[in-house]
């Protein structure tokens, strides 16, 4: 179960058949590196990449001190950065603290999925709280905007939120994190210039434009690549414009032009629909009849206007 909060309502959502999982970065890296260490055919090389060229001899990757030639190169960075002037581009930037309190103040079986009760200031801002015990949790703020924040900005908001909503001052900050995720309707197919240099991760368009979700999608893409290699079949581009990428454009249009506030959109979705349908929609695995229901939940006029604008582009 998770909490959803908006200025107008608070709900406890049953996510079944989904579940909310938190995988800490360090645990993921340590697990992966340990697996890599057991594979004698893998060499870990930490150098800046200078150039990647695909010609009739194969793909040549030139780093600071050496060069590699291979049949396929998997590349997790864009050849050219996504221009922030792109029509629909917004950063999901975030800051979080892992805190440990002196007294119990968390419910380990309930996370806070989205809390929009904080001041929005014309942006889309929400907190999420992921407890791992009654006294320990990750408390994080996410913001959809192209206005950069300093660590001091995040820290001030997190401190105020803990005081007002978690209602504790007796805690220790044991870890912090800050980062940026690009959310964009950019056409990533422009980076698929050769079938031998295969974009992965953000460069493949694995970050969902309307939500910033990427981890699950990257795991799916990795499984797909492995299966293609096992079967000896060509690896098709991950990103392909489809109805879901069109829906993402509509959502970005609505939020970034302030047709409807993000807090209103999500509040209406979770108020009118089953959580499993909202999550299935975000995961792009929803049956079409249920998909239609999604569009009956938020205000229809602003979304229709955004849809017509996108159809005209």
What pLDDT, in 10s, does the model give residues 210-235? 899 899 999 999 999 999 999 999 99
Q: pLDDT class for 276, splitting at 50, 70, 90?
A: very high
Each residue's pLDDT tens digit, 237-262 = 887 778 888 899 999 999 888 898 88
Q: pLDDT class for 20, splitting at 50, 70, 90?
A: confident
Q: What is the pLDDT of residue 98?
A: 97
Q: Which one of 163-177, 236-250, 282-296 scores highest in mean pLDDT?
A: 163-177
Contacts of the segment 251-256: beta carbons below 8 A, 24+ positions apart: 251/209, 251/210, 252/88, 252/90, 252/183, 252/184, 252/185, 252/209, 252/210, 253/88, 253/306, 253/309, 253/310, 254/302, 254/303, 254/306, 255/90, 255/124, 255/144, 256/88, 256/90
Q: Are 137 and 274 in contact (CB under 8 A)?
A: no
Q: Are 118 and 127 in contact (CB under 8 A)?
A: yes
């Amino acid at each position: 179960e998770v909490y959803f909060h908006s200025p107008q309502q608070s709900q406890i959502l049953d996510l079944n058949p989904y579940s909310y999982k938190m995988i800490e970065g360090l645990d993921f890296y340590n697990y992966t590196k340990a697996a890599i260490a057991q594979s004698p055919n893998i060499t870990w090389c930490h150098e800046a990449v200078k150039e990647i060229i695909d010609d009739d001899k194969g793909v040549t990757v030139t780093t600071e001190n050496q060069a590699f030639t291979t049949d396929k190169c998997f590349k997790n960075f864009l050849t050219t950065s996504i221009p922030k002037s792109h029509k629909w581009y917004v950063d999901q930037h975030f800051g979080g603290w892992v805190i440990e309190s002196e007294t119990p103040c968390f419910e380990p079986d309930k996370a806070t999925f989205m809390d929009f009760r904080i001041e929005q200031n014309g942006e889309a801002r929400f907190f999420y709280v992921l407890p791992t015990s009654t006294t320990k949790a990750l408390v994080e703020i996410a913001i959809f905007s192209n206005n950069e924040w300093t660590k001091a900005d995040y820290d001030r908001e997190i401190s105020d939120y803990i005081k007002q909503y978690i209602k504790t001052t007796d805690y220790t900050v044991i870890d912090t994190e800050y980062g940026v995720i690009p959310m964009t309707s950019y056409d990533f197919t422009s980076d698929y210039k050769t079938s031998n240099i295969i974009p992965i991760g953000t460069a493949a368009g694995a970050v969902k434009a309307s939500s910033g979700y990427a981890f699950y999608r990257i795991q799916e893409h990795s499984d797909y690549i492995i299966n293609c290699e096992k079967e000896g079949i060509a690896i098709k581009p991950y990103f392909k414009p489809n109805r879901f990428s069109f829906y993402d454009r509509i959502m970005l249009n609505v939020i970034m032009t302030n047709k409807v506030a993000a807090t209103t959109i999500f509040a209406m979705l979770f108020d009118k629909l089953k959580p499993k349908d909202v999550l299935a929609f975000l995961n792009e695995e929803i049956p079409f009849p249920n998909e239609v229901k999604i569009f009956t939940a938020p205000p229809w006029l602003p979304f229709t206007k955004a849809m017509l604008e996108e159809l005209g582009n």
